[in-house]
């Protein structure tokens, strides 16, 4: 029979999926099978319950007869002796027990010595009889090790319990009749045949359409020629096939564009999130989650679905939910600690919208830095330009003696040198930050570079009575730019010559190296700077003593150039007060 059914339902090759006929048949088959099984179970249960109730009634009659006998003769030893004959009179298979309220067995047909029998107060039928006036239970006797159907009733001062052995005869007596099951099985077979016939009729009309839709769902190649049955389902299949061929090409092109867009989103440096009009997340890239965590100042990643619960994004929520908005774009900045983020929302025609998060800290800092630098440069240029203009204007009158004119010319020349130095420094620091690729890298021997620099500054050093001590091995070599390395040590030496004071010492030491870096120490024994200025001396145009610095001719960019040149060589620099009172710089240069 099963082989016949299997031949009627051949495999359709749909990756193990059942055919429409098989599913339709299986649905109705399971439904009817469950329904039939429930009917059988309920009927069998009810029939067994009725038979058990009938047996309980019989056992209850035995209990009532025993009760009347005890009422007539009293509850004593004589009565218990006569009950043995009374048991035979009732039914030889019925076991009668008399139990007092304490659970002590007063009489049992199967025992002569009741003292050895354990207390019966915890027997299920006794407990039920105590609570409900009577109790029924089927179990194995702890005394005789035989299964019984127990029935017990409680009277004043004692229980009467009768028990019938639960043997094959009793089980057959309680078993339900099987005629009903045979009828149900017959009906089940008839319905089975009818369902198979109905499913077969549906199968022929739906087979091709199912095969087509299944292939489409699983992206399987379609046959060149697909034919459908000549009926209403076939016409639907032909129309679906025409629509599918048109959509397939559109979907192919759309998938290519979608892949491009997702790759753009994934590798974009901006955080991008797409949301539905109901504020539900459609897509977010990794940068979006990362920036969202920074905006909310949380160390753990933040759930993008909760973005509209944050007060920071209240303007976005109000904007996208405003039916009267006149613009489709909203943009504002959010500052968290030292970071600045750009938030932008764009609403599309269907009500969905895009949120972009972008870390513009560096751009903002660069903008502010350029603004500040422009202001500082203008301020620094004003002094030498004004001085030169004043001197030249005075010389233009021609009313001064020759020695006075030479003094004005010399001072104008000094101011022009200062102006040239400022322009050179600004150009150098701008080039380091904005065009680092313009600096050529080569192997530079640091000891040779420092010795050459000290030689170039010999006159200035001797004029101020400054002694230099260089402790750098000749084989110390840095892969970097010689001009920038020269500017590091040149600006440090110039800084000491101008501000440390006369009759001081300068020490340059290479005190450590590891696999990646050379470690240098530079310090002088001059007057140093107050500690509160240490964290600002690398800022552009910052001066500890503005008046004294300008008199010395400094541009205010020397230490800023030093910091940027060290950073160009992947190093770090810090300033501190030396134990001998001067200013000390500790910095690293990558090998």
pLDDT tens-place string over residues 156-167? 889 999 888 876
DSSP letters along 516-564, please?
Answer: SEEEEEEEE-S----GGGGGGTTSTT--SSHHHHHHHT--S-HHHHHHH
**Range with lowest mean pLDDT among 20-34, 118-132, 273-287:** 20-34
Helix (H) or strand (E) holding 506: strand 505-513
Q: Tell whether the model's pLDDT for residue 261 goes beyond 90.
A: no
Closest by CA to 277, choosing from 322, 323, 320, 327, is 320
Question: How much is the average pLDDT of 448-475?
Answer: 93
Cα 368 to Cα 362: distance, rounded to the nearest angstrom: 10
Q: Tell whether the model's pLDDT for residue 275 goes beyond 80.
A: yes
Question: How much is the average pLDDT of 567-573?
Answer: 93
Cα 84 to Cα 96: distance, rounded to the nearest angstrom: 9
pLDDT tens, 493-507? 989 998 888 999 999
Q: Tell whether the model's pLDDT for residue 53 goes beyond 80.
A: no
Cα 467 to Cα 391: distance, rounded to the nearest angstrom: 37
Q: What pLDDT score does 80 carry?
A: 76
Provide the token pair at 117. 């029998």
Highest mean pLDDT among 111-120, 309-318, 547-556: 309-318
pLDDT band per the 50, 70, 90 thresholds, residue 475: very high
Q: What pLDDT score does 6 carry?
A: 42
% of the chain with per-residue pLDDT over 90: 20
Contacts of 384 (CB under 8 A, 6+ apart): 415, 416, 418, 419, 422
Question: How much is the average pLDDT of 137-144?
Answer: 79
Q: Tell whether the model's pLDDT for residue 281 goes beyond 80.
A: yes
Question: How much is the average pLDDT of 517-537?
Answer: 89
Cα 513 to Cα 399: distance, rounded to the nearest angstrom: 64
pLDDT band per the 50, 70, 90 thresholds, residue 239: confident
Question: How much is the average pLDDT of 211-228?
Answer: 71
Q: What pLDDT score does 315 carry?
A: 92
Instruction: Give the chain's mean pLDDT.
Output: 79
Cα 101 to Cα 155: distance, rounded to the nearest angstrom: 9
Closest by CA to 355, choosing from 442, 418, 295, 426, is 295
Pairwise pLDDT comparison (380 vs 113), residue with the higher score: 113
Cα 121 to Cα 105: distance, rounded to the nearest angstrom: 10
Cα 260 to Cα 253: distance, rounded to the nearest angstrom: 11
pLDDT band per the 50, 70, 90 thresholds, residue 376: low
Q: What pLDDT score does 196 carry?
A: 75
Pairwise pLDDT comparison (192 vs 517), residue with the higher score: 517
pLDDT band per the 50, 70, 90 thresholds, residue 92: low
Q: What pLDDT score does 9 carry?
A: 43
SS (H, E, C) 96-119: EEEEECCCCEEEECCCCCHHHCCC
Ordered strands of the 134-140 beta sheet: 105-108, 95-100, 158-165, 147-155, 134-140
Task: Compute CA distances 491 → 80, 407, 413, 427, whole Å.
Answer: 126, 29, 22, 15
In the three-class reduction of DSSP (H, G, I as helix; E, B as strand; rest coil), residue 576 is classed as strand
Contacts of 298 (CB under 8 A, 6+ apart): none
Q: Tell whether the model's pLDDT for residue 286 goes beyond 80.
A: yes
Question: How much is the average pLDDT of 223-243?
Answer: 71
pLDDT tens, 60-88? 888 888 888 888 888 887 777 777 666 54
% of the chain with per-residue pLDDT over 70: 79
Helix (H) or strand (E) holding 272: strand 271-275
Q: What pLDDT score does 458 carry?
A: 92
Q: Tell whether the model's pLDDT for residue 552 goes beyond 70.
A: no
* Pair 471, 519: CB distance under 8 Å: no
Q: Tell whether the model's pLDDT for residue 198 goes beyond 90.
A: no
Q: What pLDDT score does 470 carry?
A: 94
What helix, strand, coil percent values describe the chain, rounded to 5? 55, 20, 25
Pairwise pLDDT comparison (468 vs 166), residue with the higher score: 468
pLDDT band per the 50, 70, 90 thresholds, residue 377: low
Pairwise pLDDT comparison (469 vs 177), residue with the higher score: 469
Task: Compute CA distances 370 → 365, 379, 437, 567, whole Å.
Answer: 8, 14, 20, 19
Q: Tell whether the model's pLDDT for residue 224 goes beyond 70.
A: no
Task: Compute CA distances 333 → 275, 303, 344, 360, whole Å.
Answer: 20, 21, 9, 9
Q: What pLDDT score does 428 carry?
A: 77
* Pair 188, 33: CB distance under 8 Å: yes
What is the bridge-based pairing of β-strands 477-480 and 442-445? antiparallel
Residue 364: CA count within 13 A, CB half-sphere: 12
Pairwise pLDDT comparison (34 vs 408), residue with the higher score: 34
pLDDT band per the 50, 70, 90 thresholds, residue 467: very high
Which residue reads 């025993």 in tokens? 66
pLDDT band per the 50, 70, 90 thresholds, residue 299: low
- The alpha carbon of 159 is separated from its chain's Cα centroid by a whole number of angstroms, namely 69
Angle at 388 between CA 382 and CA 389, to 5 degrees: 85
Closest by CA to 489, choosing from 504, 513, 475, 510, is 510
* Pair 212, 222: CB distance under 8 Å: yes
């Amino acid at each position: 029979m099963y082989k016949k059914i299997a031949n009627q339902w051949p495999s359709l090759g749909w990756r193990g999926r059942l055919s429409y006929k098989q599913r339709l048949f299986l649905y109705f088959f399971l439904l009817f099978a469950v329904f039939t099984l429930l009917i059988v179970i309920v009927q069998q249960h009810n029939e067994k319950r009725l038979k058990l109730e009938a047996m309980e009634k019989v056992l209850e009659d035995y209990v009532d007869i025993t009760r009347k006998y005890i009422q007539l003769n009293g509850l004593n030893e004589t009565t218990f002796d006569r009950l043995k004959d009374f048991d035979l009179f009732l039914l030889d298979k019925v076991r009668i027990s008399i139990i007092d309220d304490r659970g002590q067995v007063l009489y049992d047909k199967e025992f002569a010595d009741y003292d050895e029998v354990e207390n019966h107060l915890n027997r299920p039928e006794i407990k039920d009889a105590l609570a409900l006036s009577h109790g029924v239970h089927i179990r194995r006797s702890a005394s005789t090790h035989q299964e019984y159907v127990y029935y017990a009733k409680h009277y004043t001062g004692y229980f009467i319990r009768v028990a019938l052995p639960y043997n094959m005869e009793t089980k057959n007596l309680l078993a339900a009749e099987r005629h009903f099951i045979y009828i149900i099985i017959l009906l089940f077979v008839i319905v089975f045949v009818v369902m198979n016939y109905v499913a077969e009729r549906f199968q022929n009309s739906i087979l091709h359409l199912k095969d087509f839709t299944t292939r489409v769902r699983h992206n399987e190649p379609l046959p060149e020629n697909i034919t459908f049955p000549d009926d209403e389902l076939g016409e639907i299949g032909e129309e679906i096939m025409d629509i599918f061929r048109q959509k397939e090409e559109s979907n192919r092109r759309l998938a290519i564009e979608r892949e491009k867009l997702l790759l753009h989103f994934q590798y974009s440096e901006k955080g991008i999130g797409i949301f539905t009009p109901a504020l539900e997340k459609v897509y977010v890239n990794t940068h979006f989650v990362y920036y969202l965590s920074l905006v909310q100042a949380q160390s753990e990643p933040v759930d993008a679905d909760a973005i509209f619960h944050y007060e920071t994004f209240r303007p976005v929520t109000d904007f996208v939910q405003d039916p009267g908005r006149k613009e489709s774009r909203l943009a504002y900045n959010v500052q968290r600690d030292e970071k600045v983020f750009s938030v932008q929302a764009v609403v599309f025609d269907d009500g969905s919208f895009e949120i972009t998060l972008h870390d513009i800290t560096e751009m903002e800092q660069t903008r502010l830095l350029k603004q500040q630098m422009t202001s500082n440069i203008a301020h620094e240029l004003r002094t030498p330009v004004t001085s030169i203009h004043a001197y030249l204007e005075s010389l233009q009158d021609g009313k001064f003696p020759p020695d006075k004119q030479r003094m004005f010319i010399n001072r104008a020349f000094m101011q022009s040198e200062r102006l040239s130095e400022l322009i050179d420094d600004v150009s150098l620091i701008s080039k380091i930050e904005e065009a680092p690729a313009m600096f050529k890298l080569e192997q530079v021997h640091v000891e040779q570079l420092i010795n050459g620099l000290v030689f170039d500054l010999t006159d200035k050093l001797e004029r101020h009575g400054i002694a230099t001590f260089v402790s750098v091995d000749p084989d110390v070599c840095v892969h970097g730019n010689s001009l920038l390395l020269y500017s590091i040590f040149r600006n440090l030496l110039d800084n000491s010559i101008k501000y440390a004071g006369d009759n001081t010492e300068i020490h340059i030491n290479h005190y450590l190296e590891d696999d990646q870096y050379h470690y240098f120490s530079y310090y002088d024994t001059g007057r140093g700077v107050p500690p509160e200025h240490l964290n600002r001396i690398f800022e552009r145009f910052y001066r500890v003593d503005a008046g004294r610095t300008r008199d010395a001719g400094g541009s205010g960019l020397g230490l800023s150039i030093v910091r940027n040149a060290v950073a160009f060589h992947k190093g770090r620099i810090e300033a501190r007060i030396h134990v001998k009172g001067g200013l000390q710089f500790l910095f690293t240069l990558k090998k």
